[in-house]
A and B are shown apart, each in its own frame.
Chain A
Amino acid sequence: MIATNPKRMVLLPALAARLAFVGVVDVVIAWLVLRLVGDGSYPLAAVLGVIALLITVSFSGERFRPYRWFSIGLSLSILFVLYPIFYTFYLSTTNTGYGHILTKQQAIASLERTQYVPEGGQVFRWTAFQADDGSYALWLQAADGTASLARIGETVEQVRPGEGGLGSLDENGVPISIDGYRRLERRDVVVLLDQLSRLEFGTPPHSVRITGLNAAATTQQRYRYDPQQDAITDLQTGTVYRPQNGTFVADSGEELRPGFFVGVGLDNFTRFFSSSALQGPLVTIISWNFAYALLSVLCSFTLGLAIALLFNNLPGKNIIRTLLIIPYPIPALVSILIWRNLLNPDFGALVKLQQALFGTAFNWLTDPMSTRTAIILINMWLSYPYFYIVSSGALQAIPTEMLDAAAVDGANQGQRLVRITLPLLLQIVSPLLVASFAFNFNNFNLIYIFNEGNPPIAGSPIPAGHTDILISFVYKLAFNSAQSDYGLASAISIVLFAFVALITWLQFRYTRVLEDRI
């Protein structure tokens, strides 16, 4: 025991484990990178390559040893935090969106999978069987009465009952059982139809595909891509389609779906900054975005601070504090939904109360100004507890000697508050106010959950509402409209990224949070 070096004893198995780990990670990533390159998803492939490199380097040499401790965290950060920011930028320079979701390779692959039934192609009635290993086979019955069994990747063969493990036929001419297979009932088949119709049974050129719930047919590939010509030919009609702005178009103007995305330069940014159709709604959205973030912070902070000051030395303040903090631990989304119901113009309890008291009520969800007021009020309700907690903490941090000294010098309560307490407190909480402004500037949940950004702006060419902020508008553009426009939505996201970066830079610069923390 004394003679052996304990460090080496630990290291040998550890080394083996380390090499095995790196090997496995590299192999898996390499496989994924190859597949992604095949799809034409080059940026993602490149990022995965970088991650593999990082892991390999940090685990093989002694020099970057400490980086092992970050390898997983850093890899995930690069893949899902850093890369998406750059990818958003990339998307903003493309026309990605409705009809242009895939890469060119994927679009071609999808088109080349399209099949058609050629003239003289045979049509069958089919019954599906499933083998014990999960694979499928089809029992095909042609119109002339002949029957055959089609397996995946095997030549279709005509078979007779009693041979090849076939059981006897039922009244429809379908074997009741086949050895090693289970006959699928119609209700099972309905669920599996989508999956089954993607399978190719038998072998080309006589492969059979399911074309409907009752029919299968021998089919042929319909489109073929020629890389030299960069064109797609319809093998059925002979029409040639050429790529144009992300769609294959024939001379006649006929287009093939799906299309693919292509670079469009800064078109999306140009549209954002200067399209006359977008200008009206965008001005409304942007000015409300600023007003909303600013008012939310000011109102919530004022209320939280007032509460902290008022109840700072009140007997029983602990009970009051516990009660007043109640909005904080309720998930904001649940609270927003409850408020939405309370203010529902048809049956909201608060609206009914308002009507009972005043004979009339605001249209909290349909009138632009009332909806905006409601949003600010709800945000006050949601976030004053945070500012209450923070302000109380900050009040404790203000040295009492200063206040006492001021009192001795003859300053009254009001003067002490305005001249000493508030300036010191603002100094402590101002970074939090800025952070809260930045948070509220992109506070999607409140805007979208409360009223989906509605009421809608009349005459807007894009789905936009009077209470939409930029980020909820981005969401609607990308995910909530029939003609989703990822390109424009990404361009707006980039503008938001730049804005958040600016705020953060100012914050770091003037408060030196960064330096203090490190």
Chain B
Amino acid sequence: MADPFLRTNVSLATGQHTARLSYRQRRWLGYGIRYVIAAGLIVFAFVPVVWVVSASFNPSGSLTSIEIIPRHPSLENYRGLFENSYYPFMTWLLNSFKIAGVSTVFSVFSTAVAAYALSRFRFRGRRALMRAILIINVFPGILSMIALYTIMQQLGTHVSFLGLDSHASLILIYTAGALSINVILVKGYLDSIPLEIDESALVDGATHWQIFRLITLPLAKPILVTIGVLTFMAIYGDFVLPRVLLQSADKLPMMVGLYLFQSADYAKNWGIFTAGAVIAALPILALYMLLQNYIVGGLTSGAVKL
């Protein structure tokens, strides 16, 4: 093929100088346009983020402020956040960690156990069970909110730690969601672990439970971490279920608390709200940074609904 330089020279030499650009010029023009578009999109992506972070360090309390860098940055909003007696942000954050953390551990365990059995045992109803597991969690839990509310009310009259306004209720409901497509994904992963390892352990007298605990669990760590992180993120970010089931202010998780805070006292406390939003987002952001590869891998394999 012709050298792009040569072509330009030829056209110059023949006196037919047109606006046509060289290959390289066209390439860089294409890059340039794309970089401009990228810059525009990055601004679009960052507007809310930059606004909330800068506002959270801006003690002036002027609502209309569009200064990107506050003139007198301070941590006053953050102090206000943790000293607020009507809105216990610290408690909310701890509640969120507790609910999401415990539910995640239970869910991952329950997923792993079910996947192990599906992968290692052949029994009657196995395929039907897999179908059931896939279908049962197709319906978003939010559609059942009224039923769940009523069921918890009925259980709560007799079992004091369940019922409304209880973290245990929420945790059980979240754990119930574990038997989902995730089981099938983990099962696929376990299928790829050679059976010979199990068999040699069986010959040595290990029980299936020991094999599961000591061999399979450690080997399946990557996929379990992926599922665990995605589960944690989903539960941490959930709103409806805790909003419906929990009642007292000191039981709420961060998401519900933040919503109530901002809808109740917005005009007075907008600075505190921005600080709260930053604090609420930070744990998930940190988790994402740490485990980015697991998460993106999980996304493309379909481990999460969205």
Contact = CB atoms under 8 A, between A and B. Distances in A.
Whether chains A and B associate is yes
Interface of A: 6-7, 10, 32, 35-36, 39, 41, 44, 64-67, 69-70, 72-74, 76-77, 79-85, 87-88, 91, 96, 101, 307, 310-311, 314-315, 320, 323-324, 326-335, 337-342, 344, 346-347, 349-350, 352-353, 381, 383, 386, 389-390, 393, 432, 435-436, 439, 442, 444-445, 448-449, 471, 474-475, 478-479, 486, 489-490, 493, 496-497, 500-501, 504, 514, 517-518
A76 B143 CA distance: 17
Interface residues of B, number: 96
A381 B139 contact: no
Q: Which 9 A-B pairs have the closest CB atoms?
A: A69-B117, A329-B288, A84-B144, A347-B63, A76-B176, A84-B147, A80-B176, A331-B237, A87-B147
Nearest to B286: A329
A514 B134 contact: yes
Given A36-B158, A311-B34, A449 B147 contact: no
Contacts of B99: none
A493 B262 contact: no
B48 A339 contact: yes
B211 interface: no
A320 B31 CA distance: 13
Given A32-B159, A73-B110, A347-B270, 8 more contacts: A73-B176, A73-B179, A76-B179, A77-B176, A329-B288, A349-B64, A350-B47, A514-B131
B105 interface: no
Interface string B89-107: 0000000000000000000
A77 B37 CA distance: 47
Contacts of A475: 145, 240, 244
Contacts of A342: 47-48, 51
B220 to A, nearest CB: 15
A332 B31 contact: no
A72 B306 contact: no
B46 interface: yes
A96 B146 CA distance: 10
Given A76-B175, A84-B148, A337-B259, A497 B139 contact: yes
B45 A381 contact: yes
Interface string B119-153: 00101001101110011111111111111111101
A81 B277 contact: no
Contact of B207 (A10, A66, A517): A10
Interface string B176-206: 1111010010001000000000000000010
B150 to A, nearest CB: 7
B77 to A, nearest CB: 14
Contacts of B47: 342, 350
A496 to B, nearest CB: 5
Contacts of A353: 66
Contacts of B143: 85, 88, 442, 471, 493, 496-497, 500
A326 B46 contact: yes
Task: State the majority secondary structure of interface residues on B.
Answer: helix
Contact of B146 (A91, A324, A497): A91
Contact of A73 (B178, B255, B277, B299): B178
B42 A324 contact: yes
B300 A88 contact: no
A320 B42 contact: yes
B45 A327 contact: yes
Contacts of A84: 144, 147-148, 151
A80 B178 CA distance: 11
A395 B178 CA distance: 31
A338 B51 contact: yes
B181 A517 contact: yes
A73 to B, nearest CB: 4
B252 interface: no
B114 A70 contact: yes
B64 A352 contact: yes
B173 interface: yes
Contacts of B284: 329-331
A92 to B, nearest CB: 9
Q: Which of B143, B147, B280 has the most CB of A within 10 A?
A: B143
B172 interface: yes
B281 interface: yes
B154 to A, nearest CB: 5
Q: Which of B44, B129, B154 has the most CB of A within 10 A?
A: B154
Contact of A44 (B45, B64, B151, B177): B151
Contacts of B237: 331-333
29 contacts: A6-B205, A32-B155, A35-B158, A39-B154, A65-B123, A66-B126, A69-B117, A73-B178, A80-B148, A81-B136, A91-B146, A307-B41, A311-B34, A311-B38, A320-B38, A329-B288, A330-B284, A331-B236, A338-B48, A341-B262, A347-B267, A349-B51, A386-B306, A389-B299, A475-B244, A478-B145, A489-B146, A497-B143, A517-B184
